[in-house]
Amino acid sequence: MARAFLIVMDSVGCGGAPDAAAFGDAGANTLAHIAAACSEGRADLGRSGPLRVPNLDALGLGAAVRLASGDDMPGLSAVPVGRWGAATEVSRGKDTPSGHWELAGVPVPWDWAYFPDTLPAFPDDLVAEVCRLAGVGGILGNCHASGTEIIDRLGAEHLRTGWPICYTSADSVFQIAAHEEAFGLERLVSLCRDLAPRLHAMKVGRAIARPFIGVPGDFHRTGNRRDFAIAPPAPTLLDWVQGAGRVTHAVGKIGDIFSHQGISHLHKGKDDAALFDHLDRLAGEAEVGSLTFANFVEFDSTFGHRRDVAGYARQLEWFDARVGAFLARLLPGDLAVFTADHGNDPTWRGTEHTRERVPVVCYGAGAGSFGLCGFVDVGASVAAHLGVAAMGPGRSVL
């Protein structure tokens, strides 16, 4: 009985979304713009030359970008030996839950709630509830902000007052940053957990605990982030597989994204390197017939939002080198699918996600293009490979 590995390279979009203009993202293309910057010598910090991702390119990455958007991919010219295509999202968002849920067969049927980019950003009754739950007299922030910038700006005041730092972004999120030692990690996590039901009732997608440590002038976030996401509106690929009596493994943020539904085993790590260690181990240990669903977040969180083109290119090249060793560990009959949940073009204006199609490149499913497909078709294809009935609207393209 075959195994499947569904691997999300968070934010590694490939342009071409037909509704990109409605999101202000017409022309955005995460992969193509990084490849162009590399080929033109504009991404030589810590690396040099054209973008080098030979393992993913051999599976069809460069071809998928050209299919999705028509944009060139300098440095990626392999004739694919894997199955490849590109997927289009229908959910009305360019956020993490929407992308992952739809990849797992469940489009989002509602419009997410977003907080206005004003000062203050949050309604008084929500602020009062945060204060009540935290046992504090007020909050800091109350605005749209970058997570690293706001702890640099308000971390010292947080230590002085004990008030949590609350902020949001263009995504449907309410984020709370607090010092792990001075405020307390468990206190922060409990605050977000207790606040989440109120946010979910508002159709705010996630309450996110953002712990940090350090002293003024030297604050940095830790790996103990916790997301409390609204539950998917219907059973997802994880539920389909688990309901068929199979084992599911969630690597990285997958547990949080899916509200821990349909998950047999959770594997967390402090960074993407630690998460890839889990993936390598599962390539050798995962049960026959199992699904491993992994998210690698640092493309997005560390490089995309910070508009760090060279850093994003370095991460792609590091990831690709790990892919080669991972594929060598797979068993005959295994399927590995590499895809993304949205874009985050580091050459684009602002700091937020970009609406894009995503590449879908596969190992263990033969060779050739399956063309353009829907996000939901990814989940249906994985289910078909595992011999599990898909309960969503997708169709297998493999």
Binding residues for Mn(2+), by number, are 10, 300, 305, 341-342, 353
- Please give the Cα distance from 286 to 295 (Å, whole number): 17
Beta bridge partners of 88: 374
Q: Which of 185, 124, 183 is nearest to 159 (CA)?
A: 183
Binding positions are: 10, 300, 305, 341-342, 353
Burial 220-243, CB ≥16 within 10 A → b, else e: ebeebbbbbbbebeebbbbbbbbe
- Cross-strand partners of 260: none
The answer to whether the beta carbons of residues 11 and 346 sit under 8 Å apart is no
Contact of 369 with 85, CB cutoff 8 Å? yes
User: Measured between alpha carbons, how far is 308 from 75 in angstroms, rounded to an integer?
Assistant: 20
Could you tell me which residues come within 8 angstroms of residue 187 by beta carbon, excluding any fewer than 6 positions away?
Answer: 134, 178
Evaluate whether 248 touches 262 at the Cβ level (below 8 Å): yes
Q: Are 170 and 114 in contact (CB under 8 A)?
A: yes
Helix (H, G, I), strand (E, B) or coil at 370: strand
C-beta atoms surrounding 124 within 10 Å: 8
Using alpha carbons, select from 358, 366, 359 the residue that is nearest to residue 385. Answer: 366
Q: 157, 183 in Cβ contact below 8 A? A: no
Q: Which residues lie across from 336 on neighbouring strands?
A: 5, 363
Closest residue by Cα to residue 352 from 306, 383, 287, 298: 306
3 state SS of 161: helix
Closest CA to 87 of 57, 71, 65, 109: 65
